Amino acid sequence: MTMIGRRSPWGIIDDAEERFDGFVEVGTPSHGGIWLSEQLRALMPRGLRLAWWEEDCAWAVPYYVFRERLAATGNTYVTTNLAQVVETIRRWQPADVIAALGLDESETRKENGMRDIRDRWYDQQPEPKAAVETPEPDVEETPASSDTPEPEGCRTTVNRALGLLKR
């Protein structure tokens, strides 16, 4: 599947690498992430069936879910760095997402306080609007607006996931 020239939540795609059928890492001049086909979204845990996963904080969720498929393609990153993948999820995803993945939140490292800071920040945010699934990769998604500064790219994916989990 060629995605170069199509729209993503971060702009026009200028780089794309399909890791396996329906799992595509995309890049734009300013940002990027992972796009999952409709078939792969159906295999995600309930509430996490999103088309787009941002590259800074959210990437680890589809990498974790599809770790065996990625390993079968010869991608050794996820198998040799599984602890980092899991730690990224625990550090940057809210408890509902961690629970949906079946991870034990009690094992989360808190030595630098990042999770506590992140949780306090999310607690101060307005309730997320209902998530909108993207049926095709050339449909642009518009992040929820807010007057509150947020970490680049992380909040949109998390809010969309939380909106789906609350359904």
Q: What is the pLDDT of residues 66-117, one digit of tens each?
A: 999 999 998 888 888 888 999 999 999 998 999 999 997 655 544 334 555 5
d(CA 150, CA 96): 19
In sequence order, the 6+-apart residues with CB closer than 8 A to the CB of 119 are 94
d(CA 35, CA 25): 6
Q: What backbone phi and psi angles, to 5 degrees, belong to 13?
A: -75, 125
107 in Cβ contact with 115 (< 8 Å): no
86 in Cβ contact with 104 (< 8 Å): no
Domain range list for the chain = 7-131+150-165
In angstroms, how far is CA 111 from the centroid of its own chain? 24
48 in Cβ contact with 164 (< 8 Å): yes
Token pair of 69 as six digits: 């498929």
- CA angle centred on 22, ends 16 and 27, rounded to 5°: 20
Q: What is the pLDDT of residues 4-61, one digit of tens each?
A: 989 999 999 999 999 999 999 999 999 999 999 999 999 999 999 999 999 998 999 9
Q: What is the pLDDT of residues 63-79, one digit of tens each?
A: 999 999 999 998 888 88
153 in Cβ contact with 54 (< 8 Å): yes
Q: What is the pLDDT of residues 124-166, one digit of tens each?
A: 666 654 444 454 555 444 444 444 344 445 555 555 555 555 5
